[in-house]
Amino acid sequence: MGAVLGLGIGVGLLLCWSAFAVPRAPRGPRERDRTGALLARAGLHGVSSTSLWLLCGACAMVVLLLAEIVTRTPPVAVVFAAMAGYLPVAIVSGRARRRQREFAEVWPEAVDNLASAVRAGLSLPEALSGLAIRGPEALREPFAQFAVDYQVSGRFGECLDRLKDRLADPVGDRVVEGLRIAREVGGGELGRLLRNLSAYLRADARTRAELESRQAWAVNGARLAVAAPWLVLLFLSFQPDVIQRYSSPGGAIVLAGGAAACLVAYRVMLRIGRLPIERRILR
């Protein structure tokens, strides 16, 4: 028994020592800052992760105070504060989805412009810089910044890396890496590659748009079903005699159970009806 106890103490001391002495393996970008990746996909490169979380906290505190003043019911105030705290993240996530959907629609046109520029004899940096003027509206700003970077440094590879970071788009990663390979090994087939890529992107966007239109009713129904009880609770908040019933332990349990049921049901509905999300594997 004494040996087992001594072994346990020794292992515990060893683990405590290793927590401070053994260097940790560096984490990847996705593990280190998922919020930063979400902001990049939304095109909010000037907003830091800390600023977003501070905004979430500020929204939660403001709504918590207002709900407490109006309802005088702490459980109800906490529920609405949690919703308000998540609202900035939901807005940024929606912006990221809309941006990725918009990019998917305009990338075929951008690739066609690149193919035309290459066929006309322009170099790859000139063709990419030309998208800042002739390209689709949604892509002009990132390529305008690429043109400035290339004029300043003249380093094509580093400018492509910055372009990928600004786009934060899986289709953009494939286009950029294809152009990088063509630049390094010679682009004799670059025009054909770009034309084939444009045709593939158009077919993929057409198929995804059709699936999303069929899926929309399920997603909208799930959102309506989740929002309905909380809208009713919001209207009840202006009736003090009714809303005070939720200040009891039983009322708090009802609110917590309802919130958990709505969250689980909503996540399950989205998981059942969601489409495969293209991930950035070439960043």
State pLDDT tens for residues 94-139: 899 889 888 888 888 888 888 888 888 888 888 888 888 888 888 8
Structure-token pair, residue 38: 């979400």
**Which pLDDT score, from 0 to 100, does residue 59 have?**
94
| Per-residue pLDDT at 221 exceeds 50 | yes
* Measured distance CA(104)–CA(97) in Å, rounded: 11
State pLDDT tens for residues 141-192: 999 999 999 888 888 888 888 888 888 888 888 888 878 877 776 656 677 7
Structure-token pair, residue 234: 């919001």
DSSP state of 278: P
Query: Which of 5-9, 163-167, 181-185, 210-214 has the weakest average pLDDT?
Result: 5-9
Provide the pLDDT confidence category of residue 60 given band limits of 50, 70 and 90.
very high
Closest Cα to residue 55, out of 29, 100, 87?
A: 87
Cα-Cα-Cα-Cα dihedral of 195, 200, 203, 209, to 10°? -120
Provide the pLDDT confidence category of residue 8 given band limits of 50, 70 and 90.
low
